[in-house]
Each structure stands twice: as structure tokens, then as C-alpha cells.
């Protein structure tokens, strides 16, 4: 089977890690928001706006890292907007998230026309993030080929996953965040500032989503294309649920979905299996786990807006 | 609620419906003000966006307005665009009255569109008065099936419908994409099915626009939804669950049954909308024919104050944005995406009624329900 070797090789696993990176960033963003009791289905829009902003800022400044910072900042701004609507004014979280998604698609398309004169995406060279080789690591056979050469944002993703776990489960701040999500009234009585904690988490959520978007546009393709997130924000939500709102769980789920994505692209090139069928896998798995068919995912909050008595 | 006195029971159905309509209208006056302010705010922010990027907001809005309502063609296109949104908005509304958030109308619409197309292309030689209802029923059934899955998962397993309907929407998107790219693909480069049989075509009612008889179904459905919700046992149970589930259960209403019924009917309404698009406008299933009617439906249901008649009004606004936007894009070369921006802004402002009330208060305007 010559074809099978073409599909399943070291390159596939390296691509898996690459595909999993933006999903993990989004999923971690989702975890911070939902652990504090705010549903964030606006992740998709926050990622898309991050991808767009990253390219504009990188092109303008000539420095990809400036683009990454700008993407994080704009993601945070959208997170703040979600916070103002859902925390500040106790608005509906799903409606606000939907609004942000539609806004992002319209805004990035509109601004693409304004900036590049083309609705389809960026025109001209975009300074992208360089790939770094990790010494020693890249010399290990097989493993080196998979994790040895990537843009720094891939390694940062793994670091942030670890940090997220520590913050959420090993620090007083994490305890506060989870308390605010699980029992806002009790948290308030215990002297925790519920609103401030929620704002912090939803802004952090947007920043992480923006970072994921920057990886898509600057860490991989070095361009912006209309709607380039292509549902990855929703896959990130799926990864968050599949990982049971735990950072390492989300990373694992993202790797699984990233593998499906990488596999789908290779199979498409060989026209072995229709890509659409593989693309449905993350969604079907998420529905299955929510229904308790495979394991059981129980949300960490009831997501009701908290209104102080 | 269904608090009818004896003489009222005897009045004719038409009068009762009409009275219900007028009563709703009167009751909705205070409710409608925040929505109007949300729309105005959205257009104001949109104007700033246009102005900052070098366009004249007045000219752009003027071009949209003339495009959407300036002549018979514009009005026809506006109503054509409004039609599927009425269905998806009613779908959102029906589930919402049961306290459910069905954000998967897009997927239910796509599945309904495909099943309707399947019936439309599979039979030939049927009389139209059999073929059309058959295809419509297939569309409703397809949508209902796509609503039934999250309904059962919610009722039996407690799976949250916001996530399941959204995820199933993507499954529907890829599934229909697979079907029209592989097994049911018409010859040629475009991912679409072959044309439906002429006997399954819903008549076009305002040539040369694409406005079809589907709009009559949509408007009738708005009345039917209002009637079902306010005047039938099913509607009463659905609303009781939405209002207070535990009280409803103490009152002997089965919550599980209500949830399954509401979400399945919701899916059927969206599926019927998809069928209307296929039989009336597209005349086949074309991949990507929906520019997001499902999401528009959510917005229109909210802007319409979660009321079938409000939905009819709000759907015209959203249809006008789409059809007027196309004219504006053609005449003034302003990116069409400004339409999405405006829609999104309306949604964001509607999301937080407290925000509107706060702004009113800051502006020194007293409103009686704030």
C-alpha cells in the first residue's frame, strides 16, 4: 500500500500539531469564560478578527510579533464587548456571541475591501512568524520530525495549556474563577468580586481566541482570507466540551480534531474519502459526549447572568 | 392565556384571531420601543463606520432604501429575502416559548431543503396539487428529524440544546455538501442537484423577481403559530414549560414530551422554509444557497419581540437589508459586508435590553417599563 504511507507518516503528525494549535487556543479561551459562568460562542468571531488584525498589523509594522500582540489586544476588546453585554447588562450570552460572530465576518470582509481593495483577503507579502528548531529535540528520530520544527506559537500553546491548568486549579485566583462560575451568590458572600472576575475571564477568553486567530494567519499561511477560521471557533467549543472544561482535556481533544483535519486534507488530495464525512466527526463526537453516549460532559456552571441583590 | 368566558367561546375563529392580533399589537407597544432604539443605534454605529472609511452614510442608506423599496422589483426582492427568515424566526420562536434556544435552524433548513429537493426530483408526472404538498411535507419532515435529535437528547439525556443544535447544524452543512457533491450531483461544475420536476415548483408571484408562493405559507404559518401557542393545548403546555418548568410539571404537564414536541415542531418550521426556497426560488438544491438564514432567524425573532407578528415586520427589515444592500453594492461599490455589520449591531444591541434602558435613563428619557 504505497498510498497509505503517503497518508500516514511523520508529516501527518506534524500537521496534526499545527492544526490543533488554533483549536487549543480557542478551547482554552472557552474554558476560562465558561469556568466563570459565561458561554462564549463568539470564539469563532474573535479568532477571525484576530487573524485579520494580525495580518494588518504585521503588514503595517513589518513585524509579525507586533501583529500577534495586536491580534491578542483586539480579541481582548471583543471579549470586553461580550463582557459588557452579558456581565455588565446581564444580556443573553448566546445572542451576544452570535452577534459577535456575524459582526466579525462582516467587519473583516468590509475592512479587507477598505485595506486591500479586495473582499477576499490580504494582498501583498505579510511578514509571518519564523519556524524555530529546538536543538536536541529535533534530532530525536520520529519525535523530532513531529515536534522539532514549528513556529513559536505552537510551543507557546503547550506552555499556556500548562499555565492555564495551574492557574485554574492550583491558585487562589483559579479557585475564585471556578467559584464565580459554580456559585456566584456564594462567591459574592465570600467577598469575591463576581463582576470583576467574570470580566477578567471573558477578556482573557477573547485574548486567547485572538492569539489562535493570529496563529492561523501569521503562523502558518502568512495571509488573511475571508472567513478563514472556517468553523474552528466552534470546533474549539467542541474540544472544550470534549475535554470536559479541563485544559489538558481540551488539548487532547484538539489534537484529536486536529488529526481529523490533517487526515481529511491528505485524503482529499488522494480522493480516497469525501472530506465532508471526516469534517463532521468533531461535531458528531461532541453531540455524543453531551448526550453521555461516550463518557459524560457536565458543564461547570448554569451560566445564568449574575445580578447582585 | 386561555382564560375564555362562555360567550367568547362562541365567537368565530376569525374574530378571535383578529382580537388576539389587536391585543398583541396593543400589548407590544411598550415592548417595541427598545427594539426600535436598538435598530436606530445599529444604524448610527454603522454610519460612523461608513463615515470613517470614506463613504457618505446618507448616500449609502439612501441607496439601500431605494434599492429595497424604490420600485416593484426592489420590493419583490426584499420580500423574497424576507421569506426564509420568517420561517427560521418562527422556528426559533416556537422553541423559545418552551424555554429552549434552538440556534440550529440553519441546519434544519438545509436538511429540509434537501429532502424537499429529493422529492421534487424523484417523481415526475404527478399533478402539482399532490407533488407540491408532498415535497413541502418532505421538507418539514426533514427539518423535524433534525430538530428531533437534539430534542430527544435534551429530554432524555439533558444534553444542552444550544450546543447540540449548533453542532448538528454543521453536520447538516457537511452532510448536504457531501450529498450534492457526490451521490446527487448534477452534471457540470456546480455542486447542485438536477432541477426539480415542474409539477413541484411553487409559482413565482411577482415576475421577474424570485418572489414565490412560499411567502403565503410563511405568513399563514405566522398566524398558525400564534394560534397554536395561544389557543391550543399543545401551545399552552409549551408556554407553561417555558414560563416555569417545575410549576408546569406539578400541573401535570410532561416536560419531556413538551420539549420533544417544541423542538421537533421548531425544526419542521425551519425545514419548511428550506423547502420553500428549493421549490420556489432555487428550483434545485444548490450548495451554499443559504447566506445564513438560520442566524438571521434568531435575530429577527428577537427584534420582532418574540411575537409572530413582530417577526413579520422585522423580517421585512432584514430582507430589505439584504436586497437593498445588493443594490447599494452595485451602484456605490460599498462592500456588501456593511449589511452583516448592521445586522450584527442590531443583534448586539437587542441582546441587552438593560443596556438600552440604561442609555435611555442617561439620556434623561423616562420610559414606563424601565
pLDDT of the residue at B368: 46
| Selected residue of B170, B178, B350 to mutate for chain A interface (largest A Cβ count, 10 A) | B170
Tell me which residue in B101, B163, B344 faces A99 most closely, judged by beta carbons: B344
| Selected residue of B328, B352, B361 to mutate for chain A interface (largest A Cβ count, 10 A) | B352
Q: Are A190 and A179 in contact (CB under 8 A)?
A: yes
Look up residue B192 and give its DSSP letter: B
pLDDT of the residue at A262: 85
Cell for A237? 467549543
CATH architecture of A2-290: Orthogonal Bundle (1.10)
Residue A80 predicted with pLDDT over 90: yes
Closest to B355 in 3D by CA, of B31, B38, B39, B40: B38
Task: Give the span between the Cα atoms of B151 and B263, in whole angstroms.
Answer: 6
pLDDT of the residue at B287: 95
- From B142's Cα to the closest Cα of chain A, the distance in A is 18
Which residues of chain A make contact with B153, given a CB cutoff of 8 A? 287, 290-291
Higher pLDDT, B140 or B20: B140
Of the candidate ranges A76-80, A162-166, A260-264, the one whose mean pLDDT is the lowest? A260-264
**Domain ranges, ordered by start, for chain B:** 75-353
Residue A77 predicted with pLDDT over 90: yes
pLDDT of the residue at A129: 87
Cell for B120? 421534487
Q: Are A205 and A78 in contact (CB under 8 A)?
A: no
Residues with Cβ within 8 Å of residue B278, at least 6 apart in sequence: B113, B114, B116, B117, B120, B135, B139, B196, B284, B285
> Sorting pLDDT into bands at 50, 70 and 90, what band is A12?
confident
Residue A183 three-state SS? coil
Of the candidate ranges A49-53, A149-153, A158-162, A266-270, the one whose mean pLDDT is the lowest? A266-270
Tell me which residue in B153, B347, B355 faces A95 most closely, judged by beta carbons: B347
Tell me which residue in B101, B348, B358 faces A96 most closely, judged by beta carbons: B348
Which residues of chain A make contact with B340, given a CB cutoff of 8 A? 102-103, 105-107, 109-110
Return the number of CB contacts < 8 Å for A and B. Answer: 153
Q: What angle do CA B31, B33, B38 make, to 5 degrees?
A: 115
pLDDT of the residue at A1: 45
**Interface check A72 vs B, CB under 8 A:** no
Residue with cell 429577527: B300
> Sorting pLDDT into bands at 50, 70 and 90, what band is B158?
confident
**Interface check A94 vs B, CB under 8 A:** yes
B352 and A290 within 8 Å at the Cβ level: the answer is: no
Q: What is the pLDDT of residues A20-42, one digit of tens each?
A: 999 999 999 999 999 999 999 99
Residue A295 predicted with pLDDT over 70: no
Question: For residue B335, what is the nearest residue in chain A, using CA coordinates?
Answer: A110
> Sorting pLDDT into bands at 50, 70 and 90, what band is A296?
low
- From A265's Cα to the closest Cα of chain B, the distance in A is 15
Please measure the distance between the N-terminal and C-terminal CA atoms of chain A and give it in whole angstroms. 68
Residue A93: alpha-carbon gap to chain centroid: 18
pLDDT of the residue at A20: 95
Residue B12 predicted with pLDDT over 80: no
Q: Are B258 and B238 in contact (CB under 8 A)?
A: yes
* Window A:134-193, CB contacts with B under 8 Å: none
Residue B204 three-state SS? strand
For the residues B36-47, what does the mean pLDDT come to? 94
Q: Are strands A149-150 and A132-133 parallel, antiparallel or unpaired?
A: antiparallel
Tell me which residue in A100, A234, A276 faces B178 most closely, judged by beta carbons: A276
Q: DSSP characters for B228-296? A: HHHHSHHHHHHHHHHH-HHHHHHTT--HHHHHHHHHHHHHHHHHHHHHHIIIIIISS-BTT--SSHHHH
Give, for A133, the enclosing helix (H) or strand (E): strand A132-133
For the residues B236-250, what does the mean pLDDT come to? 91
SS3 content of chain A, % helix, strand, coil (to 5): 70, 0, 25
A106 and B340 within 8 Å at the Cβ level: the answer is: yes
Task: Give the span between the Cα atoms of B254 and B2, in whole angstroms.
Answer: 19
**Domain ranges, ordered by start, for chain A:** 2-290
| Selected residue of A109, A243, A280 to mutate for chain B interface (largest B Cβ count, 10 A) | A280
**Average pLDDT of the residues of chain B:** 90
A110 and B337 within 8 Å at the Cβ level: the answer is: yes
- From B158's Cα to the closest Cα of chain A, the distance in A is 7
A287 and B167 within 8 Å at the Cβ level: the answer is: yes
Percent of chain B with pLDDT over 90: 74
A276 and B302 within 8 Å at the Cβ level: the answer is: no
Higher pLDDT, A7 or B211: B211
Residue A179 predicted with pLDDT over 80: yes
For the residues A99-123, what does the mean pLDDT come to? 93
| Selected residue of B48, B88, B341 to mutate for chain A interface (largest A Cβ count, 10 A) | B341
How large is the ipTM? Answer: 0.91
For the residues A117-137, what does the mean pLDDT come to? 83
Task: Give the span between the Cα atoms of B77 and B333, in whole angstroms.
Answer: 19
Higher pLDDT, B219 or B8: B219
> Sorting pLDDT into bands at 50, 70 and 90, what band is A119?
confident
Residues with Cβ within 8 Å of residue B357, at least 6 apart in sequence: B34, B367, B370
Residue B278: alpha-carbon gap to chain centroid: 16
Residue B24 predicted with pLDDT over 70: no
Neighbouring CB atoms inside 10 A of B167's CB total 28
Residue A183 predicted with pLDDT over 80: yes
Task: Give the span between the Cα atoms of A77 and A98, in whole angstroms.
Answer: 16
pLDDT of the residue at A2: 46
Residue B9 predicted with pLDDT over 80: no
Q: Does domain B75-353 have CATH number 1.10.3470?
A: yes
pLDDT of the residue at B29: 67
> Sorting pLDDT into bands at 50, 70 and 90, what band is B241?
very high
For the residues B272-284, what does the mean pLDDT come to? 97
* Window A:19-48, CB contacts with B under 8 Å: 39, 41
In this prediction the pTM is 0.90
For the residues B288-297, what does the mean pLDDT come to? 92
Question: For residue A231, what is the nearest residue in chain B, using CA coordinates?
Answer: B170
Which residues of chain A make contact with B298, given a CB cutoff of 8 A? 95, 98
pLDDT of the residue at A269: 72
Of the candidate ranges A203-207, A274-278, B9-13, the one whose mean pLDDT is the lowest? B9-13
Cell for A112? 479587507
B167 and A238 within 8 Å at the Cβ level: the answer is: yes
> Sorting pLDDT into bands at 50, 70 and 90, what band is B2?
very low
Which residues of chain B make contact with A89, given a CB cutoff of 8 A? 352, 354-355, 358
Cell for B179? 450529498
B345 and A90 within 8 Å at the Cβ level: the answer is: no
Question: For residue A279, what is the nearest residue in chain B, using CA coordinates?
Answer: B174
B340 and A102 within 8 Å at the Cβ level: the answer is: yes
Q: What is the pLDDT of residues B63-107, one digit of tens each?
A: 999 999 999 999 999 999 999 999 999 999 999 999 999 999 999
Amino acid at each position: 500500500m504505497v498510498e497509505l504511507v503517503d497518508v500516514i507518516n511523520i508529516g501527518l503528525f506534524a500537521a496534526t500539531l499545527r492544526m490543533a494549535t488554533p483549536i487549543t487556543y480557542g478551547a482554552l479561551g472557552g474554558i476560562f469564560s465558561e469556568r466563570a459562568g459565561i458561554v462564549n460562542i463568539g470564539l469563532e468571531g474573535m479568532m477571525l478578527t484576530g487573524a485579520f488584525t494580525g495580518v494588518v498589523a504585521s503588514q503595517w509594522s513589518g513585524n509579525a510579533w507586533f501583529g500577534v500582540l495586536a491580534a491578542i489586544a483586539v480579541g481582548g476588546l471583543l471579549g470586553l464587548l461580550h463582557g459588557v453585554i452579558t456581565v455588565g447588562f446581564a444580556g443573553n450570552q448566546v445572542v451576544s456571541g452570535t452577534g459577535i460572530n456575524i459582526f466579525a465576518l462582516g467587519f473583516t470582509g468590509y475592512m479587507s475591501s477598505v485595506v486591500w481593495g479586495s473582499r477576499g483577503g490580504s494582498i501583498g507579502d505579510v511578514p509571518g512568524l519564523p519556524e524555530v528548531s529546538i536543538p536536541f529535540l529535533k534530532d530525536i528520530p520520529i519525535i523530532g520530525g513531529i515536534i522539532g520544527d514549528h513556529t513559536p506559537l505552537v510551543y507557546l500553546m503547550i506552555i499556556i495549556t500548562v499555565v492555564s491548568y495551574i492557574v485554574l486549579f492550583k491558585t487562589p485566583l483559579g479557585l475564585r474563577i471556578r467559584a464565580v462560575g459554580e456559585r456566584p451568590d456564594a462567591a459574592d458572600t465570600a467577598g469575591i468580586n463576581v463582576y470583576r472576575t467574570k470580566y477578567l475571564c471573558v477578556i482573557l477568553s477573547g485574548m486567547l481566541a485572538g492569539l489562535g486567530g493570529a496563529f492561523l494567519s501569521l503562523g502558518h499561511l502568512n495571509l488573511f482570507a475571508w472567513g478563514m477560521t472556517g468553523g474552528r471557533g466552534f470546533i474549539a467549543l467542541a474540544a472544550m466540551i470534549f475535554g470536559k472544561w479541563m485544559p489538558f482535556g481540551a488539548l487532547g481533544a484538539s489534537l484529536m480534531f486536529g488529526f481529523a483535519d490533517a487526515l481529511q486534507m491528505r485524503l482529499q488530495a488522494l480522493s480516497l474519502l469525501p472530506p465532508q464525512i471526516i469534517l463532521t466527526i468533531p461535531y458528531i463526537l461532541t453531540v455524543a459526549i453531551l448526550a453521555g453516549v461516550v463518557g459524560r460532559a457536565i458543564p461547570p456552571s448554569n451560566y445564568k447572568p449574575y445580578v447582585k441583590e | 392565556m386561555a382564560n375564555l368566558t362562555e360567550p367568547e367561546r362562541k365567537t368565530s375563529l376569525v374574530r378571535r384571531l383578529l382580537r388576539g392580533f389587536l391585543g398583541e399589537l396593543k400589548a407590544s407597544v411598550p415592548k417595541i420601543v427598545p427594539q426600535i432604539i436598538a435598530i436606530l443605534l445599529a444604524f448610527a454605529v454603522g454610519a460612523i463606520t461608513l463615515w470613517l472609511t470614506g463613504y457618505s452614510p446618507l448616500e449609502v442608506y439612501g441607496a439601500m432604501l431605494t434599492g429595497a423599496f424604490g420600485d416593484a422589483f426592489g420590493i419583490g426582492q426584499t420580500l423574497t429575502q424576507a421569506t426564509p427568515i420568517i420561517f427560521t424566526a418562527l422556528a426559533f420562536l416556537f422553541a423559545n416559548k418552551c424555554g429552549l434556544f434552538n440556534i440550529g435552524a440553519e441546519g434544519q433548513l438545509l436538511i429540509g431543503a434537501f429532502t424537499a429537493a429529493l422529492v421534487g426530483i424523484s417523481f415526475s408526472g404527478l399533478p402539482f396539487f399532490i407533488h407540491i404538498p408532498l415535497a413541502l411535507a418532505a421538507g418539514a419532515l426533514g427539518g423535524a428529524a433534525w430538530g428531533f435529535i437534539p430534542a430527544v437528547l435534551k429530554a432524555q439525556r439533558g444534553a444542552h440544546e444550544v450546543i447540540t443544535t449548533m453542532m448538528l447544524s454543521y453536520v447538516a452543512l457537511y452532510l448536504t455538501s457531501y450529498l450534492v457533491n457526490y451521490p446527487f450531483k448534477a452534471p457540470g461544475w456546480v455542486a447542485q442537484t438536477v432541477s426539480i420536476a415542474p409539477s413541484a415548483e411553487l409559482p413565482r408571484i411577482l415576475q421577474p423577481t424570485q418572489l414565490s408562493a412560499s411567502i403565503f405559507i410563511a405568513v399563514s404559518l405566522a398566524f398558525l403559530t400564534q394560534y397554536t401557542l395561544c389557543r391550543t393545548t399543545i401551545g399552552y403546555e409549551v408556554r407553561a414549560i417555558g414560563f416555569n418548568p417545575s410549576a408546569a410539571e406539578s400541573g401535570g404537564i410532561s416536560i419531556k414530551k413538551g420539549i420533544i414536541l417544541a423542538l421537533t415542531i421548531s425544526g419542521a418550521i425551519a425545514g419548511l422554509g428550506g423547502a420553500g426556497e428549493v421549490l420556489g426560488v432555487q428550483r434545485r438544491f444548490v450548495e451554499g444557497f443559504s447566506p445564513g438564514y438560520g442566524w438571521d432567524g434568531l435575530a429577527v425573532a428577537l427584534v420582532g419581540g418574540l411575537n409572530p407578528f413582530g417577526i413579520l415586520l422585522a423580517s421585512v427589515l432584514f430582507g430589505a437589508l439584504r436586497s437593498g444592500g445588493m443594490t447599494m453594492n452595485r451602484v456605490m461599490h460599498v462592500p456588501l459586508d456593511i449589511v452583516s455589520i448592521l445586522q450584527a449591531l442590531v443583534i448586539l444591541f437587542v441582546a441587552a435590553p438593560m443596556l438600552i434602558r440604561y442609555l435611555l435613563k442617561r439620556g434623561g428619557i423616562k420610559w414606563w417599563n424601565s
